[in-house]
Structure 1
Amino acid sequence: MKFGVVVFPGSNCDEDMVYVLRNILGQEVVKLWHKDHDLQGVDMVVLPGGFSYGDYLRSGAIARFSPIMNEVIDFAEKGGYVLGVCNGFQILCEAHLLPGTLMHNTSHRFICKNQYIIADNNASPINAGLPLDRPLLIPIAHGEGNYFADAEVIKELEDHAQVLFRYCDANGNVTPEANPNGSVNNIAGVTNRHRNVFGMMPHPERAADPELANVDGRLIFESLLNHCLSEVK
Protein backbone atom coordinates (compact mmCIF):
# COMPACT_ATOMS: atom_id res chain seq x y z
CA MET A 1 0.00 0.00 0.00
CA LYS A 2 1.31 3.47 -0.84
CA PHE A 3 1.02 6.27 1.71
CA GLY A 4 1.58 9.98 1.13
CA VAL A 5 2.62 12.06 4.16
CA VAL A 6 2.00 15.77 3.65
CA VAL A 7 4.67 18.17 4.92
CA PHE A 8 3.59 21.72 5.78
CA PRO A 9 5.85 24.50 7.06
CA GLY A 10 5.88 23.73 10.78
CA SER A 11 5.13 20.01 10.54
CA ASN A 12 7.25 18.15 13.07
CA CYS A 13 5.77 14.67 13.22
CA ASP A 14 6.18 13.85 9.54
CA GLU A 15 9.40 11.87 10.01
CA ASP A 16 7.85 9.89 12.87
CA MET A 17 4.90 9.01 10.65
CA VAL A 18 7.11 8.06 7.70
CA TYR A 19 9.27 5.88 9.96
CA VAL A 20 6.32 3.94 11.36
CA LEU A 21 4.63 3.43 8.00
CA ARG A 22 7.85 2.49 6.17
CA ASN A 23 10.08 0.84 8.77
CA ILE A 24 7.58 -0.66 11.20
CA LEU A 25 4.71 -1.54 8.86
CA GLY A 26 6.80 -2.10 5.72
CA GLN A 27 4.69 0.09 3.42
CA GLU A 28 5.68 2.36 0.55
CA VAL A 29 5.75 6.01 1.61
CA VAL A 30 6.29 9.28 -0.24
CA LYS A 31 6.45 12.79 1.17
CA LEU A 32 4.08 15.34 -0.35
CA TRP A 33 5.20 18.97 -0.09
CA HIS A 34 2.43 21.43 0.75
CA LYS A 35 2.88 23.25 -2.57
CA ASP A 36 2.54 20.08 -4.63
CA HIS A 37 -0.41 19.45 -6.94
CA ASP A 38 0.26 15.74 -7.42
CA LEU A 39 -0.59 13.02 -4.87
CA GLN A 40 1.71 10.61 -6.76
CA GLY A 41 -0.86 7.84 -6.94
CA VAL A 42 -1.04 7.19 -3.20
CA ASP A 43 -3.68 4.96 -1.67
CA MET A 44 -3.90 7.01 1.52
CA VAL A 45 -2.98 10.57 2.49
CA VAL A 46 -1.73 11.31 6.00
CA LEU A 47 -1.65 14.78 7.53
CA PRO A 48 0.83 14.58 10.42
CA GLY A 49 1.09 16.53 13.64
CA GLY A 50 3.02 19.71 14.27
CA PHE A 51 2.41 23.43 14.15
CA SER A 52 1.62 24.16 10.51
CA TYR A 53 2.30 27.82 9.72
CA GLY A 54 3.08 28.35 13.40
CA ASP A 55 -0.59 27.83 14.34
CA TYR A 56 -1.19 31.47 13.39
CA LEU A 57 -4.84 32.55 13.29
CA ARG A 58 -6.08 29.09 14.37
CA SER A 59 -4.43 25.70 14.32
CA GLY A 60 -4.78 24.34 10.79
CA ALA A 61 -6.57 27.42 9.44
CA ILE A 62 -3.78 28.49 7.09
CA ALA A 63 -2.63 25.00 6.13
CA ARG A 64 -6.16 24.32 4.92
CA PHE A 65 -5.40 26.72 2.01
CA SER A 66 -2.10 25.12 0.98
CA PRO A 67 -2.17 24.03 -2.69
CA ILE A 68 -1.91 20.34 -1.79
CA MET A 69 -5.20 20.56 0.10
CA ASN A 70 -7.13 21.05 -3.15
CA GLU A 71 -5.88 17.62 -4.17
CA VAL A 72 -6.52 16.10 -0.74
CA ILE A 73 -10.10 17.39 -0.67
CA ASP A 74 -10.76 16.07 -4.19
CA PHE A 75 -9.17 12.73 -3.24
CA ALA A 76 -11.33 12.43 -0.12
CA GLU A 77 -14.52 13.42 -1.92
CA LYS A 78 -13.87 10.61 -4.40
CA GLY A 79 -13.60 8.10 -1.55
CA GLY A 80 -9.85 8.14 -0.96
CA TYR A 81 -8.62 7.43 2.55
CA VAL A 82 -7.27 10.38 4.56
CA LEU A 83 -5.88 10.31 8.11
CA GLY A 84 -5.15 13.42 10.16
CA VAL A 85 -3.30 13.22 13.47
CA CYS A 86 -3.30 16.13 15.95
CA ASN A 87 -2.56 19.16 13.75
CA GLY A 88 -3.69 17.02 10.82
CA PHE A 89 -7.04 16.54 12.55
CA GLN A 90 -7.30 20.30 13.02
CA ILE A 91 -6.58 20.84 9.32
CA LEU A 92 -9.24 18.33 8.28
CA CYS A 93 -11.82 20.15 10.41
CA GLU A 94 -10.79 23.51 8.95
CA ALA A 95 -11.15 22.01 5.45
CA HIS A 96 -14.64 20.73 6.38
CA LEU A 97 -13.64 17.17 5.59
CA LEU A 98 -14.56 16.38 9.18
CA PRO A 99 -17.28 17.99 11.32
CA GLY A 100 -16.57 20.09 14.39
CA THR A 101 -13.55 22.08 15.50
CA LEU A 102 -10.67 21.87 17.97
CA MET A 103 -10.60 24.60 20.58
CA HIS A 104 -8.12 25.53 23.31
CA ASN A 105 -7.81 23.00 26.10
CA THR A 106 -10.02 23.97 29.02
CA SER A 107 -6.87 24.19 31.16
CA HIS A 108 -5.47 26.78 28.71
CA ARG A 109 -2.20 24.86 28.89
CA PHE A 110 -0.29 22.72 26.42
CA ILE A 111 -0.70 19.09 27.44
CA CYS A 112 1.98 16.50 26.66
CA LYS A 113 1.55 13.10 28.29
CA ASN A 114 0.50 9.50 27.77
CA GLN A 115 -3.27 9.19 27.69
CA TYR A 116 -5.61 6.22 27.61
CA ILE A 117 -8.18 6.07 24.84
CA ILE A 118 -10.64 3.37 23.89
CA ALA A 119 -12.28 2.44 20.59
CA ASP A 120 -15.93 3.47 20.71
CA ASN A 121 -17.03 0.93 18.11
CA ASN A 122 -15.76 -1.23 15.25
CA ALA A 123 -17.66 0.58 12.50
CA SER A 124 -14.73 2.24 10.71
CA PRO A 125 -11.54 0.90 9.11
CA ILE A 126 -9.31 2.58 11.70
CA ASN A 127 -11.02 0.90 14.66
CA ALA A 128 -12.55 -2.18 13.01
CA GLY A 129 -9.86 -4.49 14.35
CA LEU A 130 -9.58 -3.05 17.84
CA PRO A 131 -10.98 -4.59 21.04
CA LEU A 132 -13.73 -2.54 22.63
CA ASP A 133 -12.71 -3.52 26.15
CA ARG A 134 -9.01 -2.66 26.01
CA PRO A 135 -7.75 0.88 26.65
CA LEU A 136 -4.81 1.95 24.47
CA LEU A 137 -2.06 4.12 25.91
CA ILE A 138 -1.35 6.77 23.26
CA PRO A 139 0.64 10.03 23.72
CA ILE A 140 -1.07 13.38 23.33
CA ALA A 141 0.66 16.72 22.75
CA HIS A 142 -1.59 19.68 22.03
CA GLY A 143 -2.80 23.06 23.16
CA GLU A 144 -5.97 23.01 21.07
CA GLY A 145 -7.39 19.51 21.40
CA ASN A 146 -10.77 20.34 22.86
CA TYR A 147 -13.16 18.83 20.32
CA PHE A 148 -16.39 20.78 19.95
CA ALA A 149 -19.46 20.69 17.72
CA ASP A 150 -23.01 21.85 18.25
CA ALA A 151 -25.57 19.50 19.79
CA GLU A 152 -27.07 18.49 16.44
CA VAL A 153 -23.70 17.49 14.98
CA ILE A 154 -22.75 15.59 18.13
CA LYS A 155 -26.04 13.67 17.97
CA GLU A 156 -25.35 12.73 14.35
CA LEU A 157 -21.85 11.56 15.24
CA GLU A 158 -23.18 9.45 18.09
CA ASP A 159 -26.16 8.08 16.14
CA HIS A 160 -24.01 7.02 13.18
CA ALA A 161 -21.06 5.60 15.15
CA GLN A 162 -18.73 8.29 13.81
CA VAL A 163 -16.92 8.69 17.12
CA LEU A 164 -13.71 6.68 16.71
CA PHE A 165 -12.07 6.97 20.13
CA ARG A 166 -12.83 8.43 23.54
CA TYR A 167 -10.51 9.46 26.34
CA CYS A 168 -10.72 7.05 29.26
CA ASP A 169 -8.87 5.89 32.36
CA ALA A 170 -6.61 2.85 32.68
CA ASN A 171 -9.64 0.61 33.18
CA GLY A 172 -11.48 1.89 30.14
CA ASN A 173 -13.93 4.06 32.04
CA VAL A 174 -15.00 7.13 30.06
CA THR A 175 -15.30 9.75 32.79
CA PRO A 176 -14.93 13.53 33.11
CA GLU A 177 -11.77 12.94 35.17
CA ALA A 178 -10.21 11.03 32.26
CA ASN A 179 -10.86 13.88 29.83
CA PRO A 180 -7.56 15.77 29.37
CA ASN A 181 -8.79 18.76 27.36
CA GLY A 182 -12.55 19.23 27.79
CA SER A 183 -13.63 17.53 24.55
CA VAL A 184 -17.38 17.00 24.23
CA ASN A 185 -18.29 13.47 25.33
CA ASN A 186 -14.56 12.67 25.79
CA ILE A 187 -14.20 12.51 21.99
CA ALA A 188 -10.61 11.84 20.88
CA GLY A 189 -11.28 11.15 17.19
CA VAL A 190 -14.05 11.15 14.59
CA THR A 191 -14.75 10.03 11.04
CA ASN A 192 -16.97 11.34 8.27
CA ARG A 193 -20.24 9.70 7.20
CA HIS A 194 -18.50 7.81 4.39
CA ARG A 195 -15.85 6.50 6.83
CA ASN A 196 -12.90 7.33 4.61
CA VAL A 197 -11.61 10.41 6.46
CA PHE A 198 -10.29 9.96 10.00
CA GLY A 199 -9.07 12.50 12.54
CA MET A 200 -7.65 11.95 16.00
CA MET A 201 -5.73 14.09 18.49
CA PRO A 202 -3.59 11.32 20.09
CA HIS A 203 -0.37 10.32 18.31
CA PRO A 204 -0.36 6.57 17.47
CA GLU A 205 2.94 7.00 15.60
CA ARG A 206 4.60 7.77 18.94
CA ALA A 207 3.52 4.41 20.33
CA ALA A 208 4.32 1.96 17.56
CA ASP A 209 7.97 0.96 18.07
CA PRO A 210 9.10 -1.69 20.60
CA GLU A 211 12.09 0.54 21.36
CA LEU A 212 9.63 2.93 23.01
CA ALA A 213 8.21 0.14 25.19
CA ASN A 214 4.71 0.80 23.86
CA VAL A 215 3.15 -0.54 20.67
CA ASP A 216 -0.51 0.27 21.37
CA GLY A 217 -0.48 2.77 18.51
CA ARG A 218 0.59 0.07 16.07
CA LEU A 219 -2.75 -1.67 16.64
CA ILE A 220 -4.51 1.38 15.22
CA PHE A 221 -2.33 1.44 12.10
CA GLU A 222 -2.73 -2.31 11.64
CA SER A 223 -6.52 -2.04 11.88
CA LEU A 224 -6.53 0.57 9.14
CA LEU A 225 -3.97 -1.22 7.00
CA ASN A 226 -5.61 -4.65 7.25
CA HIS A 227 -8.98 -3.22 6.26
CA CYS A 228 -7.55 -1.43 3.24
CA LEU A 229 -5.56 -4.46 2.10
CA SER A 230 -8.64 -6.65 2.41
CA GLU A 231 -10.45 -4.31 0.04
CA VAL A 232 -7.70 -4.76 -2.56
CA LYS A 233 -8.09 -8.54 -2.34
Structure 2
Amino acid sequence: MKQKQDILHSMIIEVTMVLLASMVAFQVCNMLGIRMSLIPLVMVIGYVIQKLLYHLCIISARYIVDAIPPSFLISVKKCVSKKAQSLAYSPTSNCEEVQKKRMELFHYEYQREQQQYQWQKEREEDEKLNAILRYTRDTFKRFDLEETEIYQICESVRYFATNRQVLSATEIHIKKHTSLTQISLKNFAWNIAFQYNIGRDMTTSFVMATFAEWFANSTFDTVRKNLRTTTGRHKIEIDENILSKYIV
Protein backbone atom coordinates (compact mmCIF):
# COMPACT_ATOMS: atom_id res chain seq x y z
CA MET A 1 0.00 0.00 0.00
CA LYS A 2 2.80 2.37 0.91
CA GLN A 3 4.66 1.47 -2.28
CA LYS A 4 1.63 2.36 -4.38
CA GLN A 5 1.35 5.69 -2.59
CA ASP A 6 5.02 6.43 -3.29
CA ILE A 7 4.57 5.59 -6.98
CA LEU A 8 1.50 7.81 -7.22
CA HIS A 9 3.34 10.61 -5.47
CA SER A 10 6.28 10.33 -7.88
CA MET A 11 3.99 10.31 -10.90
CA ILE A 12 2.22 13.46 -9.71
CA ILE A 13 5.57 15.20 -9.26
CA GLU A 14 6.80 14.12 -12.70
CA VAL A 15 3.61 15.20 -14.46
CA THR A 16 3.72 18.55 -12.68
CA MET A 17 7.33 19.08 -13.72
CA VAL A 18 6.60 18.22 -17.37
CA LEU A 19 3.64 20.60 -17.49
CA LEU A 20 5.64 23.34 -15.83
CA ALA A 21 8.58 22.77 -18.20
CA SER A 22 6.31 22.95 -21.26
CA MET A 23 4.74 26.20 -20.04
CA VAL A 24 8.12 27.74 -19.34
CA ALA A 25 9.51 26.56 -22.71
CA PHE A 26 6.63 28.09 -24.60
CA GLN A 27 6.99 31.41 -22.79
CA VAL A 28 10.78 31.48 -23.32
CA CYS A 29 10.47 30.75 -27.03
CA ASN A 30 7.80 33.37 -27.40
CA MET A 31 9.80 36.04 -25.54
CA LEU A 32 13.19 35.32 -27.14
CA GLY A 33 11.86 34.64 -30.63
CA ILE A 34 13.18 31.07 -30.74
CA ARG A 35 11.78 28.81 -33.43
CA MET A 36 8.90 26.60 -32.38
CA SER A 37 10.80 23.53 -33.53
CA LEU A 38 13.22 24.06 -30.63
CA ILE A 39 10.47 23.95 -27.97
CA PRO A 40 11.14 20.24 -27.14
CA LEU A 41 14.79 21.05 -26.51
CA VAL A 42 13.90 23.95 -24.26
CA MET A 43 11.41 21.70 -22.43
CA VAL A 44 14.10 19.11 -21.77
CA ILE A 45 16.48 21.75 -20.47
CA GLY A 46 13.77 23.17 -18.19
CA TYR A 47 12.86 19.69 -16.97
CA VAL A 48 16.49 18.88 -16.13
CA ILE A 49 16.86 22.16 -14.25
CA GLN A 50 13.69 21.41 -12.22
CA LYS A 51 14.94 17.92 -11.35
CA LEU A 52 18.25 19.34 -10.20
CA LEU A 53 16.51 21.93 -8.03
CA TYR A 54 14.14 19.27 -6.65
CA HIS A 55 16.96 16.97 -5.58
CA LEU A 56 18.95 19.91 -4.26
CA CYS A 57 16.03 20.92 -2.04
CA ILE A 58 15.66 17.36 -0.72
CA ILE A 59 19.38 17.10 0.08
CA SER A 60 19.35 20.52 1.78
CA ALA A 61 16.31 19.60 3.85
CA ARG A 62 17.91 16.36 5.03
CA TYR A 63 21.10 18.19 5.92
CA ILE A 64 19.20 20.81 7.91
CA VAL A 65 17.17 18.18 9.77
CA ASP A 66 20.30 16.20 10.62
CA ALA A 67 22.00 19.37 11.84
CA ILE A 68 19.21 20.18 14.32
CA PRO A 69 20.00 18.82 17.82
CA PRO A 70 17.49 16.30 19.24
CA SER A 71 16.95 18.44 22.36
CA PHE A 72 15.63 21.27 20.19
CA LEU A 73 13.17 18.92 18.47
CA ILE A 74 11.95 17.71 21.86
CA SER A 75 11.37 21.28 23.05
CA VAL A 76 9.50 22.07 19.83
CA LYS A 77 7.28 19.03 20.34
CA LYS A 78 6.53 20.12 23.91
CA CYS A 79 5.68 23.62 22.75
CA VAL A 80 3.36 22.27 20.07
CA SER A 81 1.76 19.97 22.62
CA LYS A 82 1.10 22.89 25.00
CA LYS A 83 -0.44 24.94 22.22
CA ALA A 84 -2.65 22.02 21.27
CA GLN A 85 -3.78 21.70 24.88
CA SER A 86 -4.52 25.40 25.10
CA LEU A 87 -6.55 25.15 21.92
CA ALA A 88 -8.34 22.16 23.35
CA TYR A 89 -9.27 24.13 26.45
CA SER A 90 -10.16 27.29 24.59
CA PRO A 91 -13.78 26.24 23.93
CA THR A 92 -14.27 25.87 27.68
CA SER A 93 -12.82 29.30 28.40
CA ASN A 94 -14.89 30.79 25.61
CA CYS A 95 -17.98 29.13 27.04
CA GLU A 96 -17.22 30.58 30.48
CA GLU A 97 -16.75 34.02 28.94
CA VAL A 98 -20.07 33.73 27.12
CA GLN A 99 -21.77 32.63 30.33
CA LYS A 100 -20.27 35.61 32.15
CA LYS A 101 -21.52 38.01 29.48
CA ARG A 102 -24.97 36.46 29.57
CA MET A 103 -25.04 36.70 33.35
CA GLU A 104 -24.10 40.39 33.19
CA LEU A 105 -26.82 41.00 30.61
CA PHE A 106 -29.36 39.12 32.71
CA HIS A 107 -28.36 41.15 35.79
CA TYR A 108 -28.79 44.42 33.90
CA GLU A 109 -32.19 43.42 32.50
CA TYR A 110 -33.31 42.08 35.89
CA GLN A 111 -32.36 45.30 37.68
CA ARG A 112 -34.10 47.38 35.02
CA GLU A 113 -37.25 45.26 35.27
CA GLN A 114 -37.14 45.50 39.07
CA GLN A 115 -36.95 49.28 38.84
CA GLN A 116 -39.83 49.37 36.40
CA TYR A 117 -41.83 47.04 38.65
CA GLN A 118 -41.08 49.22 41.68
CA TRP A 119 -42.08 52.38 39.82
CA GLN A 120 -45.27 50.72 38.63
CA LYS A 121 -46.05 49.49 42.13
CA GLU A 122 -45.46 52.93 43.65
CA ARG A 123 -47.63 54.55 40.98
CA GLU A 124 -50.43 52.06 41.65
CA GLU A 125 -50.14 52.64 45.40
CA ASP A 126 -50.34 56.40 44.86
CA GLU A 127 -53.42 56.01 42.67
CA LYS A 128 -54.99 53.73 45.26
CA LEU A 129 -54.30 56.16 48.11
CA ASN A 130 -55.63 59.10 46.10
CA ALA A 131 -58.80 57.14 45.40
CA ILE A 132 -59.19 56.35 49.12
CA LEU A 133 -58.73 60.02 50.02
CA ARG A 134 -61.30 61.11 47.42
CA TYR A 135 -63.71 58.56 48.85
CA THR A 136 -63.03 59.98 52.33
CA ARG A 137 -63.66 63.57 51.25
CA ASP A 138 -66.81 62.67 49.34
CA THR A 139 -68.11 60.65 52.28
CA PHE A 140 -67.74 63.33 54.94
CA LYS A 141 -68.69 66.29 52.74
CA ARG A 142 -72.26 65.02 52.98
CA PHE A 143 -72.31 65.80 56.68
CA ASP A 144 -71.95 69.03 58.62
CA LEU A 145 -68.23 68.65 59.34
CA GLU A 146 -65.87 71.56 59.02
CA GLU A 147 -63.19 71.62 56.36
CA THR A 148 -60.42 71.31 58.94
CA GLU A 149 -62.10 68.24 60.42
CA ILE A 150 -62.34 66.57 57.02
CA TYR A 151 -58.68 67.43 56.48
CA GLN A 152 -57.78 65.75 59.77
CA ILE A 153 -59.76 62.64 58.86
CA CYS A 154 -57.93 62.48 55.52
CA GLU A 155 -54.57 62.79 57.26
CA SER A 156 -55.51 60.00 59.67
CA VAL A 157 -56.62 57.82 56.77
CA ARG A 158 -53.40 58.56 54.88
CA TYR A 159 -51.27 57.55 57.86
CA PHE A 160 -53.41 54.48 58.54
CA ALA A 161 -53.21 53.24 54.93
CA THR A 162 -49.52 54.02 54.47
CA ASN A 163 -48.11 52.81 57.79
CA ARG A 164 -50.75 50.30 58.91
CA GLN A 165 -50.79 52.19 62.19
CA VAL A 166 -52.96 54.73 63.96
CA LEU A 167 -52.17 58.44 63.97
CA SER A 168 -52.73 59.07 67.66
CA ALA A 169 -51.39 62.61 68.07
CA THR A 170 -53.55 64.98 66.02
CA GLU A 171 -53.59 68.77 66.02
CA ILE A 172 -57.24 69.10 65.02
CA HIS A 173 -59.97 67.73 67.22
CA ILE A 174 -62.96 66.21 65.45
CA LYS A 175 -66.16 67.12 67.24
CA LYS A 176 -69.03 64.71 67.57
CA HIS A 177 -71.87 65.25 65.11
CA THR A 178 -75.28 63.71 65.59
CA SER A 179 -75.60 63.11 61.86
CA LEU A 180 -72.95 60.41 62.12
CA THR A 181 -73.42 57.23 64.12
CA GLN A 182 -70.96 54.70 65.46
CA ILE A 183 -72.14 52.14 62.92
CA SER A 184 -71.48 54.50 60.01
CA LEU A 185 -68.01 55.35 61.28
CA LYS A 186 -67.15 51.70 61.87
CA ASN A 187 -68.35 50.86 58.37
CA PHE A 188 -66.17 53.65 57.01
CA ALA A 189 -63.12 52.34 58.88
CA TRP A 190 -63.83 48.81 57.67
CA ASN A 191 -64.10 50.00 54.05
CA ILE A 192 -60.65 51.58 54.29
CA ALA A 193 -59.07 48.62 56.09
CA PHE A 194 -60.53 46.14 53.61
CA GLN A 195 -58.69 47.77 50.70
CA TYR A 196 -55.35 47.30 52.49
CA ASN A 197 -56.07 44.00 54.22
CA ILE A 198 -55.59 45.56 57.67
CA GLY A 199 -56.67 43.47 60.65
CA ARG A 200 -59.63 44.07 62.96
CA ASP A 201 -57.54 45.13 65.97
CA MET A 202 -55.74 47.90 64.11
CA THR A 203 -58.96 48.98 62.41
CA THR A 204 -60.70 49.18 65.78
CA SER A 205 -57.87 51.30 67.17
CA PHE A 206 -58.08 53.55 64.12
CA VAL A 207 -61.80 54.27 64.36
CA MET A 208 -61.70 54.78 68.13
CA ALA A 209 -58.70 57.15 67.95
CA THR A 210 -59.86 59.14 64.93
CA PHE A 211 -63.45 59.56 66.13
CA ALA A 212 -62.72 59.55 69.84
CA GLU A 213 -65.82 61.49 70.95
CA TRP A 214 -68.16 58.93 69.39
CA PHE A 215 -66.49 56.02 71.22
CA ALA A 216 -65.67 57.67 74.55
CA ASN A 217 -67.98 55.30 76.43
CA SER A 218 -67.26 52.18 74.34
CA THR A 219 -64.82 49.39 75.04
CA PHE A 220 -62.31 48.06 72.56
CA ASP A 221 -63.84 44.57 72.51
CA THR A 222 -67.34 45.90 71.92
CA VAL A 223 -66.27 47.97 68.94
CA ARG A 224 -64.18 45.13 67.57
CA LYS A 225 -67.05 42.64 67.67
CA ASN A 226 -69.39 44.90 65.71
CA LEU A 227 -66.90 46.50 63.33
CA ARG A 228 -68.95 45.69 60.24
CA THR A 229 -72.71 46.13 59.94
CA THR A 230 -74.58 45.14 56.80
CA THR A 231 -78.13 45.00 58.14
CA GLY A 232 -80.35 48.06 58.07
CA ARG A 233 -79.78 51.40 56.38
CA HIS A 234 -76.92 53.64 57.46
CA LYS A 235 -75.38 56.90 56.30
CA ILE A 236 -72.15 55.06 55.44
CA GLU A 237 -72.70 51.57 54.08
CA ILE A 238 -70.25 48.71 53.71
CA ASP A 239 -68.64 49.02 50.28
CA GLU A 240 -65.91 46.64 49.15
CA ASN A 241 -65.62 48.18 45.68
CA ILE A 242 -64.81 51.80 46.42
CA LEU A 243 -61.59 51.67 44.37
CA SER A 244 -63.44 50.79 41.18
CA LYS A 245 -65.53 53.92 41.62
CA TYR A 246 -62.61 56.31 42.13
CA ILE A 247 -59.76 54.90 40.03
CA VAL A 248 -60.22 55.93 36.41
TM range (shorter): under 0.3
Q: Which has the higher helix share?
A: 2
Structure with the bigger RCO (C-alpha within 8 Å, sep 6+) is: 1
Higher relative strand content: 1
Q: Give the TM-score normalised by structure 1.
A: 0.21
Q: TM-score when scaled to structure 2? A: 0.20
